[in-house]
Amino acid sequence: MEIVDLSTLPDSETRYTEFLRQICEKHDMDHAAYAGMNPAAGTVAGFVTYDDAWTEHYQNQGLIMVDPTIHMARRSIAPVDWSRLERSPDFQRVFRDASDFGLPNQGVTIPVRGPYGDIGLLSATRKCSKDEWRKLFTHVISDLQSMAVHIHDNVVSSDELTNVLYHPTLSTREAEILQWVAAGKSQQDIGDILSISHRTVEVHLRSSREKLSALTTPQAVGRAIAIGLITPS
Amino acid sequence: MEIVDLSTLPDSETRYTEFLRQICEKHDMDHAAYAGMNPAAGTVAGFVTYDDAWTEHYQNQGLIMVDPTIHMARRSIAPVDWSRLERSPDFQRVFRDASDFGLPNQGVTIPVRGPYGDIGLLSATRKCSKDEWRKLFTHVISDLQSMAVHIHDNVVSSDELTNVLYHPTLSTREAEILQWVAAGKSQQDIGDILSISHRTVEVHLRSSREKLSALTTPQAVGRAIAIGLITPS
DNA sequence: GTCAAAATACGGGAATCCCCCAATAGAAAA
DNA sequence: TTTTCTATTGGGGGATTCCCGTATTTTGAC
């Protein structure tokens, strides 16, 4: 059981879709889907093996806003088995629609998070009975988790837009000062700590804001944390 | 190959250590270690199968600050094979010490992140040749990833301190206003947007700071983002 | 080697935020 | 029903931040 190394494949959207198809074949799944988001960069990437009809319907109806699989997985550490969502009212909405399009009723969504606030969701589905699903699930879940990490790692690494926004490098002093701001210190405090004028502290903060394209210091702190330039405290 | 359900075991530190031992047995590893951190809450949890001698040395020497496995894994999405770190100067420092204590030289560290900025690192080590390690690695990595998710999920769920700090619930208005602050708006702007007085905006911000135990608004924004109450923008 | 750009440092003055206070109305909990 | 919590608005004044300008040092590119 070898893991396909995504980074060796030609760089394009199709390779990810192809990768999803391979997952389906390997694990007896009907469909697979990946969605990656980077809140800080505001980027979203998605690859699916679904028919275009369902994809369009899903987008047109804005089902992403109510899809309980996404809601749950975004807040979970462990994989989310869709059968645990059946009581959700939104579940009815989305899955009745999906059923109309002939889509499977059993599935799982696996969340994967990166260090910069980015999150990827890998879903795999299959039309079968609950018992069948349970067996299949326990059998393939750990490999699916591995695949989820693999695809998210590759998407994030190859996403040029993300990479650009990943590296608004702050100077040593700027990062240092922003870190103190995130720790709740005032400019005067920081000046005392670093033995420089609070005026100077403000200058570094200003250039930090500019580099992060932030209008205010709170926004700059939020972005810096989201992209890993500083840590919350 | 059944996954031990940690949540059914008695609640104590020993069950995690025992779980690590089971992982070692199952996958032919010499040692395993887990470290969980919650930057926002400032909590750290650790469980190891190492001897006390090494654990003490590690802490006394402050090796956690230079340990390249931790540095890398904290910034990685995928598992980090220690053999990829051999060129790091810090690697020499830590691994020479480890070798003196008779510890293995091959290993892997797997990062797992939760939705609230929390991160868990599961490491597994074995004394063997590079070739042996490579075989073992590819064979067990996906199950180890599964285990890493399992243990981190359980630690986070059962960590009462974390749970308390996980739920400084902001009211709708507070979260709404803090979100606008994170988006770079001034108090006056937000008042105009929400059609309320900028005084009111300031009151909500103050109570947000109190609930988050933050000294300043930038700190509050940082924490709110770190624990998932708002999203960066 | 020179020159431009960035990093670092400091100050004045205006704008903003933050803290103290008080007060009303509605909703939820006791 | 009473009490508590939330949401709302307001004033005054000190503290802080932010925008303007200037200057020295360091870095990097040609």
The per-residue pLDDT for A2 is 44
- Whether B214 sits inside 8 A of A184 (CB atoms) is yes
Q: How far is the CA of A66 from the C1' of D24 (A)?
A: 58
Between A75 and B145, residue with greater pLDDT: B145
- The last residue of one of the domains, among B116, B134, B163, is B163
* Contact between A115 and B77 using a beta-carbon 8 Å cutoff: yes
Question: Measured in angstroms, what separates residue B4's CA from nucleotide D2's C1'?
Answer: 52
Per cent of chain B over pLDDT 70 is: 87
Section B211-226 average pLDDT: 88
Q: What is the CATH number of the domain that holds A67?
A: 3.30.450.80
Last residue in a domain, options B111, B136, B163: B163
| Domain final position from A119, A144, A163 | A163
> How high is the mean pLDDT of chain B?
83
- The reported pLDDT for the residue numbered B122 is 96
Does a structural domain hold residue A97? yes
User: What one-character DSSP code corresponds to residue B70?
Assistant: H
**Statement to judge: residues A92 and A31 lie in one domain:** yes
Nearest beta carbon to residue B182 from set A77, A152, A219: A219
Q: Is residue B114 scored above 70 in pLDDT?
A: yes
User: pLDDT tens across A68-99, in order?
Assistant: 888 889 888 999 999 888 777 677 778 888 88
Do B86 and B154 sit in the same domain of this protein?
Answer: yes
Whether pLDDT at B40 is above 90 = no
Contacts of B225 in chain A (CB under 8 A): 117, 222, 225-226, 232
> Which residue stretches of chain A have pLDDT < 70?
1-12, 39-42, 89, 159-167
The most confident of A93-102, B2-11, B102-111, by mean pLDDT: B102-111
Tell me what pLDDT residue A162 has: 53
Query: Average pLDDT of B36-65?
Result: 81
Q: Which positions in chain A touch B77 (Cβ < 8 Å)?
A: 112-115, 149, 152-153, 156
Residues of B in contact with A158 (CB under 8 A): none
Chain B neighbors of A142, CB-CB under 8 A: 142-143, 145-146
**Three-class SS state of A32:** strand
Statement: residue B164 has pLDDT above 50: no
- pLDDT for residue B160: 45
* Cα separation, B110 vs B126, whole angstroms: 15
Q: Is the CB of B196 under 7 A from strand C?
A: no
CATH number at residue B191: 1.10.10.10
B148 and B34, same structural domain?
yes
In a domain, residue A2? The reply is no
Quote the domain boundaries for residue A188: 168-226
Domain assignment of residue B232, yes or no: no
- Lowest mean pLDDT segment, chosen from B31-35, B90-94, B123-127, B169-173: B90-94
Strand D closer than 7 A to residue A188 Cβ: yes
Query: Are B143 and B34 in the same domain?
Result: yes
Q: Are residues B77 and B93 in the same domain?
A: yes
Query: Is residue B184 domain-shared with residue B212, that is, in the same domain?
Result: yes
Indicate if B56 and B29 belong to the same structural domain: yes
Residue B1 in domain: no
Å between CA of B24 and C1' of D12? 67
Same domain, A41 and A136: yes
Q: Within 7 Å: CB of A18 and strand D? A: no
Report the residue from B42, B218, B232 with minimal CB separation from A217. B218
User: pLDDT for A198-208, tens place per residue?
Assistant: 989 999 999 98
B189 CB contact with strand D at below 7 Å: no
> Is position B231 within any domain?
no
Please tell me the predicted confidence (pLDDT) of residue A164: 45
Cβ of residue B214 lies below 7 Å from strand D = no
Q: How far is the CA of B210 from the C1' of D4 (A)?
A: 18
Question: Are B153 and B192 within one domain?
Answer: no
Q: Per-residue pLDDT for B111 more than 90?
A: yes
Q: Give the H/E segment covering residue B44.
A: strand B43-48
* pLDDT for B193: 86
Instruction: Read off the pLDDT of residues B126-141 as tens digits, 9 standing for 90 and up.
Output: 999 999 999 999 999 9
Residue-level pLDDT at B15: 83
> How many domains does the structure of chain A reveal?
2
Query: Which among B77, B149, B184 is the nearest to A215, CB-wise?
Result: B184
Task: Give the pLDDT of residue A59.
Answer: 83
